[in-house]
Structure 1
Amino acid sequence: MDATIATPDQAAAKAKEETLLSPRFYTTDFKAMDRIDVSPIRAEWDKMMAEYEGDNNHDHFQRTPEFAQEVAERFSQVTPELRKEFLEFLVSSLTSEFSGCILYNEIQKNIENPDIKALMRFMARDESRHAGFINQSLKDFGLGIDLGSLKRTKKYTYFKPKYIFYATYLSEKIGYARYIAIYRQLERHPDKRFHPIFRWFERWCNDEFRHGESFALIMRANPHLLQGGNLLWVRFFLLAVYATMYVRDHTRPMLHEAMGLHSTEYDYAVFDITTEISKQVFPISLDTDLPAFRAGLDKLFRIQQRIDAAKVRGGLVGRLQQGVAALQGVATFARLYMLPVKRHALPAQVRVAPAW
């Protein structure tokens, strides 16, 4: 097992990692973003923009005087293994939130389309708050990350706008499902809330849900994005987001165990919530109850374990083992991709969050 993150440099190095499981920074085609037309859903769009303008979370991401005291009292009692997993969770979450902040800010600076420009400005504002709030918790441990340096030095991946729509919509929705599931669990079992940041997850997940709905509106205004060959990309991103979450969560079993959750049960509960929400936009969904699907995700996790072990081994043998395992991962992902999907008609109404 890797050592726990102990210095700001180690935290920054973790944030800059480029692996299949680590959050990435993105750039896109600004001219294509400029051409997006939301006029077919103008009434819904204007209503959502009014919600953003109202900014009902403007005072939410501020620490209370009791925050540091609760960290000192509760987190000091956690095991080294849980400390390691939680710090990695904070760094990963910060990187993900800051990734959105950078992307949305760059889009709004490089386009003229007033509808998309306003949306990106609001979303960058929200993600900046989230990242700053997480970074403050890292600073409690002397591990604050220089976000300016991270922006300058981390690699960027180019995504076409439609990939941004599919991937970000799903990431925001699965983020909502993850946060609300954890919040409700710790609401029922407050003794398992080992860090105060979880108290903020309810309203945090409301931001995630609204961000996802913004991309849902863009896709509904441009229905070709949900038809024909584009459904192959929808299918790809559904699988990629679910598989990444499953493998990442199973590399941090202590984190869920400490909250009274089982990683596998938690993940499939989150998949169920996300699937119910995404069915409001996507005409296809993954059948996550298929035994072959569940076996495939388990196999991806075992392959990731072999990749991690090979990295630790190092040398020529280690690199060869990583290569073999990576090919096995690609083959397993391809078999999962070919599994049957569920098809359904889209509802007339959207923006309905399932009860949890």
Structure 2
Amino acid sequence: LLFKELSRRLIQAGRQDLGRLFQLMARDEARHAGFLNRALVAEGIEIDLPSLSGKRSITWFPLSWVLYSVFLSEKIGYWRYILIDRHLKANPENAFAPLFDFFEPWCQDENRHGDIFNLLLRCWPGLRQGIRGRLLSRFFLWSVFLTHSLTVCERGSFYTLLGMDPSRFDEEVMRHTNRTARRAFPVVFQLEGPAYFQLRDQLVETFRAIKATASQPAGVGRGMRRLGLQIRFAGLLLRQFLQPMVCSAEAIG
């Protein structure tokens, strides 16, 4: 939906080449969504994505947010797809659905889209320079990695069904994405040591504990436990956000 809307507006503004570029990326994403939608329908879940643009108002974010976040979204998507694809090719008995046959071409689409956003970032060098570039790099790497860790945590049974260790998969995806981000971001996280992933483990454990309180008897005790866990979670978030970063030319994690 994002690429389609950007394509439409760019063409209206007379930027035909850029409009066509986003049109092609929208085509790729629509193809992915079409396959996924069929899989969801087979499970009794229907999502009408095209209707969203007519029912929901569009929120426009700053250019830097779009470029940083979409670059990371595409690259982390690439590494998710390719690592699952490699695992299933080595362990075909775990490929329990035909959908996995499409992961290899999909990951190449994601990789190309990420490369395009890397080039777009380079068109605005000010977005990658100084304290602004360092803060944007830190925030978006941290937020995307955190979201990925919590999502993998919530859906751990899916990765187990594939014969994969969820925690190890999460770590491998983050390491590869962090290395890839060196091509676009001025700084990346230092993932060489165990500190970042130890905090990840504590965040996941605390997140699970917070969710578990929902099934506990209501009362002051549950409220206090939940508040204590939320404070701990916030503290861990801050510690992880402030983990050391290294200049892209020197990054090894």
Bin of the TM-score, shorter chain as denominator length: 0.7 to 0.9
When normalised by structure 2's length, the TM-score is 0.86
Aligned identity (percent) is 33
Following TM superposition, by how much is the alpha carbon of 1:151 offset from its aligned partner in structure 2, in angstroms?
A: 4.6
Aligned to 2:25: 123
Kindly indicate whether residue 244 of structure 2 is the aligned counterpart of residue 345 of structure 1: no
Do the aligned residues in 2 keep the contact of 1:170 with 1:212 (CA within 8 Å)? yes
The equivalences for 1:1-356 within 5 A come to 102-111=1-10, 112=13, 113-152=15-54, 158-228=60-130, 229-313=132-216, 324-345=228-249
Aligned to 1:56: none
Following TM superposition, by how much is the alpha carbon of 1:116 offset from its aligned partner in structure 2, in angstroms?
A: 3.2
Paired amino acid for 1:123: M
Paired amino acid for 2:136: W
**Aligned counterparts of 1:213 and 1:343: Cα–Cα separation in 2:** 20
Cα distance change on mapping 1:118 and 1:322 into 2, 3 Å: farther
Do the aligned residues in 2 keep the contact of 1:268 with 1:288 (CA within 8 Å)? no
Do the aligned residues in 2 keep the contact of 1:285 with 1:343 (CA within 8 Å)? yes
RMSD between aligned residues: 2.4
Secondary structure at 1:186 match in 2: helix
Following TM superposition, by how much is the alpha carbon of 1:261 offset from its aligned partner in structure 2, in angstroms?
A: 1.1
Following TM superposition, by how much is the alpha carbon of 1:143 offset from its aligned partner in structure 2, in angstroms?
A: 1.9
Do the aligned residues in 2 keep the contact of 1:311 with 1:319 (CA within 8 Å)? no
Cα distance change on mapping 1:259 and 1:313 into 2, 3 Å: same
Following TM superposition, by how much is the alpha carbon of 1:110 offset from its aligned partner in structure 2, in angstroms?
A: 2.9
Secondary structure at 2:135 match in 1: helix
Aligned residues: 245
**Aligned counterparts of 2:83 and 2:166: Cα–Cα separation in 1:** 12
**Aligned counterparts of 2:73 and 2:83: Cα–Cα separation in 1:** 15
When normalised by structure 1's length, the TM-score is 0.63
1:199-258 deviation line (CA, Å, top 9, x unaligned): 110000001001111110011122111111222111111111111111211222221112
**Aligned counterparts of 2:42 and 2:181: Cα–Cα separation in 1:** 37
Following TM superposition, by how much is the alpha carbon of 1:290 offset from its aligned partner in structure 2, in angstroms?
A: 2.7
1:21-41 deviation line (CA, Å, top 9, x unaligned): xxxxxxxxxxxxxxxxxxxxx
Cα distance change on mapping 1:323 and 1:168 into 2, 3 Å: farther
1:143-198 deviation line (CA, Å, top 9, x unaligned): 22222445555686552111111111011101000100000100011001111111
1:41-82 deviation line (CA, Å, top 9, x unaligned): xxxxxxxxxxxxxxxxxxxxxxxxxxxxxxxxxxxxxxxxxx
Paired amino acid for 1:294: F
Do the aligned residues in 1 keep the contact of 2:137 with 2:186 (CA within 8 Å)? no
1:117-155 deviation line (CA, Å, top 9, x unaligned): 222222221111111110001112222222244555568
**Aligned counterparts of 1:137 and 1:302: Cα–Cα separation in 2:** 31
Following TM superposition, by how much is the alpha carbon of 1:299 offset from its aligned partner in structure 2, in angstroms?
A: 1.7
Cα distance change on mapping 1:157 and 1:184 into 2, 3 Å: same
Secondary structure at 2:116 match in 1: helix
List 4+ stretches of structure 1 deviating above 6 A.
none
Structure 1 unaligned blocks of 5 or more: 1-101, 347-356
Do the aligned residues in 2 keep the contact of 1:226 with 1:283 (CA within 8 Å)? yes
